[in-house]
Amino acid sequence: MPAAQGTFPGRPARPAEGAAGRLSPTVNFALRIGFYCVLCLVCSALAAVACLLVNGGRTVKNMRIIRAVVRTFKYFFGLRFEVKGLENFKVEGPAIIVSNHQSVLDMMGLMEVLPDNCVQVGKKELMYMGSVGLIIYLGGVIFINRKSTSSAKMVMSEVAKTMVAENVKVWVYPEGTRNCTGDLLPFKKGAFHLAIQAQVPVIPVVYSSFTSFYNPKTKLFTSGKIKVEVLPPIETKGLTPDDVTDLTDRCFSTMRETLFRLSGRPSQAKDSS
């Protein structure tokens, strides 16, 4: 049975165990992150076989298999998710989903709420992570080259056409990189160009800050609760490229306000420093 409250590996010691039973935060952090990576690598290899046998190759249908596997990971790390607003995913047809990106641990949060027929946009370097790269490829993830704006834009424009033709939702992390500060980085505009080009709604998803249980700088990684809110879709019908900045700013403000509320920091919602 999986450990319920972050008891494996490198769980914090109980007072009765004394100093001998305690692990330094650095060792605890390394063990838990190392275990996460091994879990991802091993499960990806096994899931890749299942994906090839069941679906035959690269297809978004493989995401169902990946989702089912990754949803079990939270039990090993004592993580709990409290999800609200899943009904907001029930829009007819394709949509762009945008969410905050804090850590590699986000894969657990992603799979907790991932709707069917939804692929993510990821940096191309992810392809080279061994079996994890293979499973990401098999899941249909759209790879972009962050070092080449023109090629990234070309890929995104192609996605605008295919997502409508194939009725697929696309999940983008608009911060463009991981950010575990408890705030949002300024949003890149690719997701919003994509939504307006395809004339599909944007659905923001916000995860509460990990900083109370996870902080790579201070080597903190314990059990914890993550609040997730799927916000109402923002329509883009009739919007033009001139509206991209407004749409980006609107999503950013709504998500930042939600991030602070979910993380118990309402007073900072208006502070843009």
Per CB under 6 A, residues contacting ligand LBKI3ST6 are 40, 43-44, 47, 66, 69-70, 101, 107, 120-123, 126, 132, 135-136, 139, 141, 144, 146, 149, 152-153, 156-157, 172-174, 176, 188-191, 193-194
Give 171: exposed, middle or buried? Use CB within 10 Å, 0-12, 13-18, 19+.
Answer: buried
How would you write 162-222 as a 3-class SS string? HHHHCCCEEEECCCCCCCCCCCCCCCCCHHHHHHHHHCCCEEEEEECCCCCCEECCCCEEC
Residue window 171-190: x/- pattern of binding to ligand UBL, with contact defined by CB under 6 A = ------xx------------
Task: Give the Å distances, CA to CA, from 259 to 60, 210, 229, 231.
Answer: 29, 11, 9, 11
Residue 144 within binding range of ligand UBL, rule CB under 6 A: no
Where is 145: in which H helix or E strand? Answer: none
| Residue 13 interacts with, from ligand UBL, ligand LBKI3ST6, none (CB under 5-8 Å by kind) | none
Token readout for 232 is 């109402």
Residue 40 within binding range of ligand UBL, rule CB under 6 A: yes
Structural contact between residues 234 and 204, judged by C-beta atoms closer than 8 angstroms? yes
Q: Please, which residue, 6 or 139, has the CB nearer to ligand LBKI3ST6?
A: 139
Instruction: For residues 255 and 232, give the distance between their C-alpha atoms in angstroms, rounded to a whole number.
Output: 11
Least distance (Å) between residue 195 CB and ligand LBKI3ST6: 10
Least distance (Å) between residue 129 CB and ligand LBKI3ST6: 9
| Residue 130 interacts with, from ligand UBL, ligand LBKI3ST6, none (CB under 5-8 Å by kind) | ligand UBL
Q: Which of residues 72-101 bind ligand UBL (CB under 6 A)?
A: 101
